[in-house]
Amino acid sequence: MAAEVTLWAPVMVMALVLVAVVVHRGVDARLRLNDVAHQAARAASIEHTNARAETAAMAAATRALADAGVSCQSVQVNVLGAVRPGAAVTVTVSCDVDLADAALLGVAARKRLSSSASELVDTWRSADGET
């Protein structure tokens, strides 16, 4: 019995370490995506038109993902709400994260992560873009 435990213990420890690494990567990617959504929402909230808000949110999300070191297969950014003083703008960022190295555990090679954030548009700013 002691021989079997001695032989299987390192295998079980390695399996637990591999599981911990995969779980950590998933949690880390989700936390970083939450931050990306907040940055994109902030970028959208300071624009004066919905079209410019969508462009700014996409640019901010792309830049923040690159800065955070998150590699996404595809990024989708949706902006909800009107960009007018006192309104709320909600941005949802969705990303396909590559987890191919976790295939040993039966985890899908890609996982779709999504995060949303809301920002209020400044009540006292001008609505037409003039300051």
What does pTM read for this prediction? 0.77
Per-residue pLDDT 10s for the chain (131 aa) are 778 878 888 888 888 887 787 777 778 888 999 999 999 999 999 998 999 999 999 999 999 999 988 878 888 999 998 888 889 999 999 988 776 666 566 656 678 889 999 999 988 876 565 54
Which two structure tokens, joined as six digits, stand for 26?
């998933």
The token duo for 38 is: 């907040």
- The dihedrals phi and psi of 81, each to the nearest 5 degrees, come to 105, 155
Q: Which residues contact 22 (CB under 8 A, 6 or more apart)?
A: 99, 102, 105, 107
Query: What is the spatial distance between Cα 103 and Cα 73, in angstroms, rounded to a whole number?
Result: 17
CA separation (Å) from 25 to 2, 13, 106, 126?
35, 18, 15, 43
In whole angstroms, give the CA distance from residue 59 to residue 76. 11
